[in-house]
Amino acid sequence: MSLTLRLARRRSQTSQTWRWRCSRCARRCPGYDRGDGVRVWRGLDVGVVKVFLVAAAPRVRCPTHGVVVAGVPWARPASRFTRWFEDQTAWLAAHADSSTVAELSRTTWRSVVGIVGRVTAELAGRSDRLAGLRRIGVDEVAYRKGQRYILRVVDHDTGRQVWAGVGANADTLRAFFTALGPKRAAQLTHVSADGAAWVHDVVGERAPQARICLDPFHIVSWATKALDQLRRRLQGQLRHAGRPEQAASLKGSRWALLKNPHELHPDQKATLAGIQHDNKQLYRGYLLKEQLRYVFRAQTASFAKSLLGGWLAWARRCRIPELTHLARTIERLRPLIWNTIDAGGLSNAVLEATNNHLRLLTRRAYGFHSAQALIAMSELTLGGLCPPLPGRA
């Protein structure tokens, strides 16, 4: 069942003011022709009945956009749906997967993806989300297999995503600074990021006054990775030395070594005690990992810097190749770590948490066909661009 509403020739005052305006820029323009006569827009259902709005669709000649269909107040440009239908569909897409929303709205998931893109583009154009940025975080998240990434920028003061682009490279980050502009880039005070050199280079090029803060999560993850490499190397040595039982015990000790001490259950605590008794080198690597974690939990910046200096001295003479290599890396990046400590441990925790949210969205949608679709969904759910339900404030 469907219901078709035809707009009468005697239009309301609101419709009259829109009749000869460009649908892209809303500029009043001279008429061009009658176009295809009429157009049809899908509206919100009335109960179980589909509703369609039918009205004339003349074309106008815009000095900027050329010959285009005249704008109408009830629909966005190039849309086959009314604004109220799109707002409700976008709100639902922020809370459920596209297939479920398509089934409920009696449309297709491709239409849902297009609606999300149009709604977020319109809402993003209503405000300047890059204004007033002081402290930002930069990180990438994969959206498909094959090293395909989007780059995200988050405002630490609001916790919202303010920009996203395709690719994780210097050119993508330069595109953000181009959108930001040199005057606003000069107002940045802190930029948190991982250890990627291209991020540091672009920030130094476009915002040299901003202090780059190395993300503590990534620093500790380097230590856990080095510790796991050490565990596997020792496990292989035990296996080749004809001690398979000890090698098997090390294989099962991975989580006891990597988890935080307060999160260990009794069996893992017993495993760790056995390593302390039987494998001094691996236990020394574990202690180095834990001390590096405590650097970022120190109460004062001076104490944290002294802990880091002590850690570097210990790691350089520990005679564990994996940890001495990490010590050289951290020594090279020590000024950036000091920036992090002076900024009160500024980290990419907000980015990492929202990256997990995007991964959940990707799994829920069984993947996205394009990076732009994921960017639109991230703007809807994390960028503050989710519209209210029709009729709600």
Query: CATH 3.30.420.10 occupies which residues in the chain?
Result: 81-215+347-393
Phi and psi torsions of 198, nearest 5°: -65, -30
Whether the CB-CB separation of 211 and 190 falls below 8 Å is answered with yes
How far apart, in whole angstroms, are the C-alpha atoms of residue 344 and residue 298?
10
Q: 323-327, long-range: CB within 8 Å, 24+ apart, which pairs?
A: 323/223, 323/226, 323/227, 323/230, 323/285, 323/288, 325/226, 326/222, 326/223, 326/226
CA dihedral 287, 289, 292, 294 (to 10 degrees): -70
Predicted structure pTM score: 0.81
Q: What is the pLDDT of residue 14?
A: 43
Token code pair at residue 112 = 């849902």
Q: What is the pLDDT of residue 10?
A: 44
End-to-end CA distance of the chain: 31
Position 162: which residue type? Answer: V
Annotate 185-230 with three-state secondary structure: HCCCCEEEECCCHHHHHHHHHHCCCCEEEECHHHHHHHHHHHHHHH
Q: What is the pLDDT along the chain (393 residues), one digit of tens a residue?
A: 667 766 654 444 444 555 688 888 888 888 888 877 788 999 999 988 999 999 888 889 999 889 988 888 899 988 999 999 999 999 999 988 888 999 999 999 889 999 999 999 999 888 889 999 999 999 998 887 777 889 999 999 999 999 999 998 999 999 999 999 999 999 999 999 988 899 999 999 999 999 999 999 999 999 999 999 999 999 888 888 888 888 888 888 888 888 888 888 888 888 888 888 888 999 999 999 999 999 998 889 999 999 999 999 999 999 999 999 999 999 999 999 999 999 988 888 888 888 888 888 888 777 777 888 889 999 999 998 999 999 887
Arch. (CATH architecture) of 81-215+347-393: 2-Layer Sandwich (3.30)
Q: Which residues of 115-154 are buried (b: 16+ CB within 10 A; e: fewer)?
A: bbbbbbeebbeeeebbeebebbbbbbbebeeeeebbbbbb
| Strand 148-155, strand 161-166: pairing | antiparallel
